[in-house]
A = this chain, B = another copy of it.
Amino acid sequence: MLVVMQHGATAEDVTRVVALIEEMGYGARPMPGAQRTAVGVVGNDGRIDGSRFEALPGVAQVISVTQPYKQVSREWRPENTVVTIAPGVSFGGAEIPVIAGPCSVEGEQQIVAAAQAVRAAGAAALRGGAYKPRSSPYSFQGLGKRGLEMLALARRETGLAIVTEALDDEGAQLVAEHADCIQIGARNMQNYALLKTVGRLGKPVLLKRGMAATIADLLLSAEYILAEGNPHVILCERGVRSFDPMTRNLFDLTAVPLVHKLSHLPIIADPSHGTGLRDLVPPMARAALAAGADGLIVEVHPTPDRARSDGAQSLYPDQFARLMEEMRAIAGTLGRTLTPAPGTAAASVG
């Protein structure tokens, strides 16, 4: 940590800062500059609350050079973490699983049809919301426990792993029982109570980036889960709030290589929420792979114009099949392959 003094700070002001640092048990190293003096803190173990210094006279700014996150950092663990959600479906290795399916589970027939369609195109896992966080209390909120049972049925029919969202403790418990991976949505990225719950459940977690979360915020939220003893965390970029109304969100793909640099956790991308418009999904899905994403999550609906939510960003099944072909080719240029659909031999790269 570095305490930067104001231009006009007195020697006494500097002394006061030095004294507080030493009182806290650290070393203080003043550095006079041409414009101003800064005081370095030596031996900071990451637990100093810098705001105590900001309150002192003559202090201009407190700068932290210690990362606030630990267990999620690549400095803590240099090699990649590989998160396996079901046999053969792992994130963070050379194989890249694609999770696909509708926004919401709407009924048995719909979810099974969707599962069969995405499996046929090569998806390794099925997505579909049973609990839907909707901005309006009057919008369709999902089928709840019945939706989870339909997902479990779709798994029996197709062998696909299941990824679905939980909104509260009770839901997390039920999702853990019925599915392979618990999704924490963007709106709940800083719902620390829920993060602790899924940390304790020990089940793989797909943690989506919040609407205005920095990468450090995202990593800190993951840290909450790891701190409870659950290392099976997959991060997900899904776009942040934008000033441009033309797209639903601003899809920040740089998050992918940035997370790879800072953390050992895998990161996947969601081009459906990232863009919000069907036509933009295939190019941005390709881009996500090229940026190094460890997986993709894509909305596909058997009949998008009949979808109860997110119809405009859901791919038609044949569009998705074409996209899978394109993604296989791009993965090949990076020395990676798409995870094959369950029960099929690995797809060869074209």
**A238-264 interface mask toward B, CB cutoff 8 Å, 1 = contact, 0 = none?**
001111111100111110111001000
Interface check A149, CB cutoff 8 A:
no
Q: In A176-200, which residues have CB < 8 Å from any B CB?
A: 187-188, 190-194
Determine the distance from Cα of A292 to Cα of B287 in the docked complex, in whole angstroms. 9
Interface check A235, CB cutoff 8 A:
no
B307 close to A51 (CB less than 8 A)? yes
Closest 10 CB pairs of A and B: A54-B312, A212-B212, A168-B193, A187-B190, A7-B75, A290-B290, A55-B305, A329-B333, A287-B291, A212-B241
Interface check A100, CB cutoff 8 A:
no
5 A-B contact pairs sorted by A residue (CB < 8 Å): A2-B65, A167-B191, A212-B240, A251-B252, A287-B287
A140 to chain B, nearest CB (A): 8
B residues near A40, Cβ cutoff 8 Å: 2, 29, 31, 38, 40
B241 close to A311 (CB less than 8 A)? no
Determine the distance from Cα of A256 to Cα of B240 in the docked complex, in whole angstroms. 17
How many A residues touch the partner, as a band?
35 or more
Determine the distance from Cα of A140 to Cα of B42 in the docked complex, in whole angstroms. 22
B133 close to A55 (CB less than 8 A)? no
Interface check A347, CB cutoff 8 A:
no
A33 close to B42 (CB less than 8 A)? yes
A326 to chain B, nearest CB (A): 7
Residue of B nearest to A65 (CB): B4
Stretch at the interface among A112-120, A216-224, A338-346: A216-224
Determine the distance from Cα of A251 to Cα of B31 in the docked complex, in whole angstroms. 34
Which of B140, B167, B274, B330 is close to A290, meaning CB atoms less than 8 Å apart?
B330
A244 close to B261 (CB less than 8 A)? no
Interface check A275, CB cutoff 8 A:
yes
B241 close to A67 (CB less than 8 A)? no
**A318-350 interface mask toward B, CB cutoff 8 Å, 1 = contact, 0 = none?**
000000001001101110000000000000000
B65 close to A304 (CB less than 8 A)? no
Determine the distance from Cα of A275 to Cα of B291 in the docked complex, in whole angstroms. 12
**A253-294 interface mask toward B, CB cutoff 8 Å, 1 = contact, 0 = none?**
110111001000000000000110111100110111111100
Residue of B nearest to A291 (CB): B287
B residues near A156, Cβ cutoff 8 Å: none
Which of B167, B214, B277, B304 is close to A193, meaning CB atoms less than 8 Å apart?
B167
Q: Which of A31, A43, A194, A309 has the most CB of B within 10 A?
A: A31
**A135-153 interface mask toward B, CB cutoff 8 Å, 1 = contact, 0 = none?**
1111110000000000000
Asked whether A55 and B280 contact (CB < 8 A) given A43-B34, A168-B193, A242-B243, the answer is no
